[in-house]
Chains A and B, each alone.
Chain A
Amino acid sequence: MSAASNRGPLVTLTAAALVGVGLLSADALTDPARTRAEAPASAAATTAAAAPAAVTTSTSAPPAATSATTTPAAAATTTTSVTTGAAAYPAEAVYVGRDATRRISVAVAVRDGKAAAYVCDGKSLESWLTGTVSGTTATLSAGSDRLVAELDAGWLDVTGTVRGRAVHVRAKLGSEPAGLYRLSRTDGTTIGWIVQPDGSQVGLETQSGRVAPAPVLVPGQPVNVQGEAAYPKEVSGDDRI
């Protein structure tokens, strides 16, 4: 070929590499795992001075710890969880994960010392739990269902019993669209969705005891429930469920 002593391909390759590195840097610099610890401080200040002590300290104390647990260097040492396990919950966050068999999904939302969780297998099993946060432990319940969510080096270790079944899930800090979504209608229909960081989702719809698969959720967009458009809400830890 008469190919090219020209520099075009090299320029293209270099430009692509630079843009790629730039985008990765932008991701790293704006990662909420770094900024989240600072942002809720202002939100907490405006909402309530009456926030529990555990939360107010968490906004100021753990920025270094929370960002450290998600950096690549620290990720390689997640097994040495004891050293970084002391980090407290962010003022507001949602953790999502699946159990080892990938059958049961769990999402735990925390906010200002309160926690809300949803356990769902996408077929028949589901449970909404609420509870409180103390230090690195959130304790949730609903009827005889119990969950304990323990922070462990950036992971959330969720163990408990739901509908008589043992649940054990390692959940990760999620950001939109990953998270926990809920739709509660006046006719008694309740729909819950857990959206995983990889975009997959599970959900169930219940109406007067009948359980059905949830319609597909596109976060930020309405879903069709019995012919009407309805807007699911992202669940926050202090929501009343």
Chain B
Amino acid sequence: MLTWLALLLGVTIALSLLQARLEKAHMALAYLLLVLFGSSRGGRPIGLSLAVLAFLCFNFFLLPPHYTFRVHEPLDWLVLISFLITAIVGAELLDKAQRQTRAATQRAEEIDRLSMLGAETLNAGRAEEAVWAIAAVIRTTLDLGSCEIYGPAGEQFRCIAAVRRDGFSPSQNGRLESLVPEVLNHGRVVLLQADGTVILDEHGPESVSEILARRTDAFGWLIPLRVRGRAVGILRIEDQVAVRPDAAGRRFAEALSFYAALGVERVRLLAEAEHVAALREADRLKDALMAAVSHDLRTPLTTIKAVGHEILRDGDDRAALVIEEADRLNRVVSDLLDMSRLNSGGIPLNLELNPADDLVAAAVQQTAGVLGDHELQVSIPEADILVGRFDPVHSVRALSNLVHNAAKYSPPGAPIRLTLERVADMLRLVVEDRGKGVPADQTERIFEPFVRLDGGTHGGGSGLGLSIARRLAEAQGGRVYYQDRPGGGSRFVLELPAAELPVWED
């Protein structure tokens, strides 16, 4: 300030020495120059002070009567006042221009930093590293104590990145953590006050900038990170003083939190993609394993069966047992493979229109070898051909399993009855045997894998027959259930979706 006063004095002295040769306008302009110079160099306060002081000096030293504040010529007042106003306006305008330039430069710098950050984010090798980088930038830009970014992990959430100022540790507030789902799922905002209380803010979706501007007493915030309106993560910031970023800081926070949201989404999408790739690989391995097992088990069984037949042909009856056991082993292998496929959800279904006749005939044929001395009595409606929508192979398998089961639990010589009828919109196939039936408390248990009731014959098997039958039926929109047979024994019912006979022109 003193420099300027000295300059003012200097100019005044110079002007008074040259007074004779100068007009009032020249003197006014000289002072004006000084004021503008001072304003541009020293800022608004200097400029305004100089304007007033110059006004006084002009009056006192240079206008007659000299060394007084009185003015002889009334027009001289006009000169003085005009000078003062011009000087003040000049100083103000200069100041405003300077402020605008500073703001523009600052904004240009912000844009540069943001675009660099954006490029880095998109290029970052690991998606999580990008989120860490963003958290670090947010913390340093807003000079926060800590900045943490949360993202989803399955049904829960986890902290993806956390950066802290040295020596600062965010409050371990259990209530804060418990509110994370609120923020994630409902987009609410949470703030932490000086006394440690936590408030759930009820305002609707706003931008990050608006949120931070609204309350200036918060020491910490949990803010939802949004992509296209959807909350995909959480920004948690905290400091030991109130978090009060200025306008530029809030703008930054807004832009950075958008990048943070994108970063969190990227982490999630990459995890999903990896998961899908892993599942696909597991599927591929499973299929390869199935094919290998199928082939490697059935080839030796072929040899065993064939050689068994040769030995039988040569007259040794023991070979019949070898053949029977080879068949049984084959059934167990098939059952295990099917059960495994059903469990991993991978049974392909061909749901097609099929006559029920075919289903019954195929099951009869498939079970011909295991019926033993049990007669299979079949009853189907005479007049109509019943039609259903089901997978032919799997339905035959289910029905055959029920018949085979009946054969195992029927007393010697007892017949097994298979009935077909249509009930409402289902085809109903009932397999009845005259065995001991199933105790009331076991009627659901028998459909579990590997459960076998006492009393079954050594027809053996894997214990999976009923379980597979039920799963296959359900996969096609049908079901399998048990009923007591009136008069003793079991009724196993297979229901499959019925269909209408297609109309044709014949």
**Bound pair (A, B):** no
Seen from chain A, the residues whose Cβ lies within 8 Å of a Cβ on chain B are none
Seen from chain B, the residues whose Cβ lies within 8 Å of a Cβ on chain A are none
